[in-house]
Chain A
Amino acid sequence: MHETVERVAQQTTAPPRRGWLWPGLAVALAALLALVPQFVKRDDVLNLCFMVFLYISLGQSWNMLAGFAGQTSLGHAALFGIGALTTRMLWTNGEPFALALLLGGLAATIFALIIGVPTFRLRGAYFTIGTLAMAEALRITVSQTMPLVSTLPTDQIVGYNLATRYYVALALALATVGTAALLLRSRLSLGMLAVREDEEAAQATGVNPLKHKLIAFTISSFFAGLAGGVFAFQQVSYYPEAAFSPSWTFDALLISFVGGLGTLGGPVIGALFYILVREELAVTLVNFHQIIFGILFIIVVLVFPGGLVEAWARLRKARWLPWRGR
């Protein structure tokens, strides 16, 4: 019990010991990453980085709802898809991309607010299945009403700049992780944490569960929508239905859990790990990475709830390491 409280406190509300260290490192890393396209011209590397950044946003946005507020939603793909759809439609119709992206994020947020209130009446497993059903219903509707492939107009294809995509994805990843960091320091996170651990107790102490769940859901869906918009930006041609595929939800789950649910760095590490393993195995054994991650996922859920972040923390404290002494 004490260990749980300690772990929970460390995860969410403990400020870093040296106030400038982590933000400083983050800025340095961001600057470094921003310089990459100047030196690296290989498309495959840039694409790989794009994927990592996109998945960081995907995972972190889901983590904000499921990790911080404890609401395991399986409808993330719906928000991603709405963002993608809105952005794509607006952008291919001539709107500037930045506006289209923003509106995509907003569309997802509005959708989340509308369905959030009734959906949050469901509890636990029913909430999870309900969100899954909703996302699937939306996907099927889109696949039937918009079955045609969406291709960029020719001038966009000719002027396709991968570096731009890289920067947009990087900016989004930084924004998502940054927002999550700010959220963790805010008072809101305490309320969300309380709701996550025990909703009834939280309500008894005066925390409004619905308000905190909705806030988490709103922020989460905004970034999910933005991520979808960035995805739509990158794809030359794709089926609108593809952005609603449940695999986006499942990938977000995998990344967050394996990395460390509820932590700040979890989705980042998880995304990196996931994309690297996937691309590494993609040539030889397509989809084999899913089996690996499925197994890792089960192990994490049953044995290692803190994921890689917890494993790393335990390793650093381990007695048997040579420099720790007895």
Chain B
Amino acid sequence: MSYETIAQNLVFGLFVGSMYGVAAVGLALVFGVLKVLNVAHGELLMIGGYVTFWLYTLLGIDPFLSLLISIPALFLFGLALDRVIFRHVVRLAGETKIKNSLLVSFGLTLILQNAVIQLFSADERGVQMSYSGAGLNLFGVALPYTRMLIMVIALVAILSLHIFLQRTYTGKAIRATAEDWEAAALAGISIQRIYLLTFGLGAALAGMAGTLVSVSYGVAPGIGLAWTLKALVVIVLAGTGSILGAFPVGLLLGAAEALSGTFIGPAYREVVGLVLFLLVLLLRPQGLFARA
């Protein structure tokens, strides 16, 4: 096996890893703040991808530009979901809350997935632009422009989120709610509004990830579960409190998948991530990047 093949696979693993990072960050935010596990996160991602697909197919809007539409659209959708469904779950206590949120969001995956099948059919959709194939060629390794742009967007998104959470008042309010919602409430923060906002933000990030996925991988109604699992793997590996950790861990996961695919066999790419996930859950549940 030539170095070029290995390098090529590794590079593509890193590219997909950046998408894992974006997909994970939205879920991490929702889980960290609302303490709610939304397994329908992958479906939100899928819907974001469909938004991009239809904007491109019907209106010819470039997928990267459609980010300006898919992100707000999914944000609004997230607000609606919180208002209608998750608002009732957040009032429960601790373990019941997580368990019930899991169940409720599972019901949501059924609804969303099958609604999409009914509306758009189960065919796989992809977005191909005129410049999809173009890229750099560095030492025999192909670097498509689209993938590089995706990685840059992913990095920018995660950094922006981090800065938002650290420097702005709302961001700090969100972090305060995540740490101790009762104290935050006493300090005058409206928990309802923060929950609403955070869920919308999480959905918006999922939508962004979906747009990026539609450009590189293609979307189908059934991709939700796989992406939710990827996001969960990244979150658990990075430690549930960590937003910034999502990006490097995502890259790590992508690289690990690529390398195991190259050396062990393409069949076991996906399994590696899940096995890693289980190992970390059992041996180091606080994650690799956990903060105290």
Report Cα–Cα, A145/B236, bound state, in Å. Answer: 28
Let me know if B107 and A133 touch, CB within 8 A. no
User: Is A246 interfacial (CB 8 A cutoff)?
Assistant: yes
B103 partner, pick from A118, A145, A257, A291, beta carbons under 8 A: A257
Contact status B271-A140, CB under 8 Å: yes
For A288, give its contact among B114, B268, B282, B285 (CB under 8 Å): B114
- Do A124 and B117 have beta carbons less than 8 Å apart? no
CB <8 Å contact, B282 and A121: yes
Measured CB to CB, the closest approach of chain A to B285, in angstroms, equals 7
Nearest B residue to A295 by beta-carbon distance? B111
Contact call B274/A250, Cβ cutoff below 8 A: no
The answer to whether A298 and B104 touch across the interface, beta carbons within 8 angstroms, is yes
Which residues of B274-292 are within 8 A (CB) of A? Answer: 274-275, 277-278, 281-282, 285
User: Of the 9-residue stretches B52-60, B69-77, B92-100, which lies at the interface with chain A?
Assistant: B92-100
Contact indicator B281/A294 (Cβ below 8 Å): no
Query: Shortest distance in angstroms between B192's beta carbon and chain A's nearest beta carbon?
Result: 17
Q: A residues 122-139 with Cβ under 8 Å of B?
A: 122-126, 128-130, 132-134, 136-137
A126 lies within 8 A of B110 (CB)? no
Q: How many angstroms from the CA of A285 to the CA of B119 in the assembled complex?
A: 11
A137 touches B274 (CB 8 A): yes
Residues of B within 8 A of A173 (CB): none
Name the residue among A118, A128, A285 with the largest chain B CB count within 10 angstroms. A128
- Say how far A161's CB is from chain B's closest CB, in angstroms: 34
Q: Are B118 and A285 neighbours in the complex by a CB distance under 8 Å?
A: yes
CA distance A141 to B103 in the complex (A): 26
Complex contact A133–B98 (CB within 8 A): no
B267 at the A interface (CB under 8 A) = yes
Tell me the bound Cα distance from A254 to B104 in angstroms. Answer: 11
Whether, in the assembled complex, A297 has its beta carbon less than 8 Å from a beta carbon of chain B, the answer is: yes
Map CB proximity to A onto B39-83 as digits: 1 under 8 Å, 0 otherwise. 000000000000000000000000000000000000000000000
Minimum CB–CB distance for A306 against chain B, Å: 14
Residues of A within 8 A of B232 (CB): 129, 133
Closest to B221 in A: A287
The yes or no answer to B37 lying at the interface (CB within 8 A) is yes
Chain A residues touching B, majority SS? helix
Specify which chain B residues have a CB less than 8 angstroms from the CB of A126 in the assembled complex. Answer: 281, 285
On whether A301 and B103 interact (CB within 8 A), knowing A122-B281, A291-B115, A294-B114, the answer reads: yes
A239 to B88, CA, bound (A): 41
Q: Is the Cβ of A134 less than 8 Å from the Cβ of B111?
A: no
Determine the distance from Cα of A118 to Cα of B99 in the docked complex, in whole angstroms.
20
* Across-interface contacts of B100 in A (CB, < 8 A): 301-302
Cβ–Cβ contact A294 & B270, under 8 A: no
Instruction: Give the distance in Å from the alpha carbon of A106 to the alpha carbon of B110 in the complex.
Output: 32
* B108 on the A face (CB < 8 A): yes
B99 near A124 with CB under 8 A, answer yes
Q: Is the CB of A125 within 8 A of B98?
A: yes
- Tell whether, in the assembled complex, residue A293 and residue B278 are in contact, meaning their CB atoms are under 8 Å apart: no
From 188 to 243 in chain B, residues with beta carbon under 8 angstroms from any chain A beta carbon are: 225, 229, 232-233, 236
- CB-CB < 8 A to A123: which residues of B? 95
A136 to B271, alpha carbons, bound, how many Å? 8
What is the CA–CA distance of A137 and B267 in the complex, to the nearest angstrom? 11
Residues of B within 8 A of A140 (CB): 267, 270-271, 274
Are B285 and A294 touching (Cβ within 8 A)?
Answer: no
A145 contacts B267, C-beta separation under 8 Å: yes
Whether, in the assembled complex, A144 has its beta carbon less than 8 Å from a beta carbon of chain B, the answer is yes
| Contact B117 A141, beta carbon cutoff 8 Å | no
The reply on B174 being an interface residue by CB < 8 A is no
Within 8 A of B (CB), among A254-296: 254, 257, 285, 287-288, 290-291, 293-295
- A118 CB to nearest B CB, Å: 6
Question: How far, in Å, is B197 (CB) from chain A's closest CB?
Answer: 22
Distance between Cα atoms of A287 and B221 in the complex (Å): 12
Interface check B85, CB cutoff 8 A: yes
Contact residue among A72, A133, A294, A302 (Cβ-Cβ distance under 8 Å from B110): A294
With both chains docked as a complex, state the minimum distance between the C-beta of A61 and any C-beta of chain B, in angstroms.
Answer: 18
Which residues from 236 to 286 on chain B have a C-beta closer than 8 Å to any C-beta of chain A? Answer: 236, 265, 267-268, 270-271, 274-275, 277-278, 281-282, 285
Binding site for B on A (CB under 8 A): 72, 118, 121-126, 128-130, 132-134, 136-137, 140-141, 144-145, 246, 250, 253-254, 257, 285, 287-288, 290-291, 293-295, 297-298, 301-302
List 15 contacting pairs A-B, 8 Å CB cutoff, sorted by A: A125-B102, A128-B99, A134-B274, A140-B267, A140-B274, A141-B267, A144-B267, A287-B114, A290-B111, A290-B114, A295-B107, A295-B111, A301-B103, A302-B88, A302-B104
